[in-house]
Amino acid sequence: MLRSGMMGWFTLMQDPHDWADEQRAAAQAELQFYKKMLRPLIRSADLYHLTGRPDGKGWDAVEYFDPAASSGAIYVFRGSAFEPAAFRVHPRGVLTRHSYRLEFRDHPERDRTIPGRRLLTEGIEMTLPLPDSSEIVLLRQI
């Protein structure tokens, strides 16, 4: 619920006064992640729209990639449509001759290292079982 407000200048478009303690704790953790990892990256990164114009129903993906730091973040949003539950996203900014460590914010069991050439040709399969959900994938050249 916070990620669309973390794509640049942080914006909270909800009233947190009615949130449960668990929701506040989760929001605080996400805000710290934004401050530590995402905000510094976004300041200096190139922006890539990896999908067409968002419509709230289908998949949407945006990438921030900083070539100087050889790292980036991909925001992936699944819209309200029931199908499909999986989507392949093709990052930009990566180099074919290097490998990249992928770290999934919500699904660390999916973390892995992939050659840049494979990232560019095959992309990353994103699976989000619930409509109106999201994931952030951090990319770091190794």
81-111 confidence digits (pLDDT tens): 888 888 999 999 999 999 999 999 989 999 9
Phi, psi of 134 (to 5 degrees): -150, 170
State the DSSP H helix or E strand holding residue 116, giving kind and residue range, or none if neither: helix 116-122
Find residue 87's DSSP bridge partners: 126
CA proximity to 125, closest of 92, 84, 88, 77: 88
Indicate the average pLDDT of the chain. 87
Tell me whether residue 89 is exposed, middle or buried, using C-beta atoms within 10 angstroms of its C-beta: 0 to 12, 13 to 18, 19 or more: buried
Q: In the chain, what percentage of residues exceed pLDDT 90?
A: 50
Q: Which domains does the chain have, with CATH numbers?
A: 3-7+20-141 (2.60.40.1180)
| Model pLDDT for residues 38-72, shown as the tens digit of each residue | 888 988 999 999 998 888 888 999 999 999 999 99
Long-range pairs for 14-17: beta carbons < 8 A, 24 or more residues apart: none
CA proximity to 105, closest of 1, 33, 6: 33
CA proximity to 91, closest of 26, 27, 46: 46
Taking residues 100-124, report their average pLDDT. 96
Taking residues 112-141, report their average pLDDT. 93
**Chain centroid offset of residue 79 CA:** 14
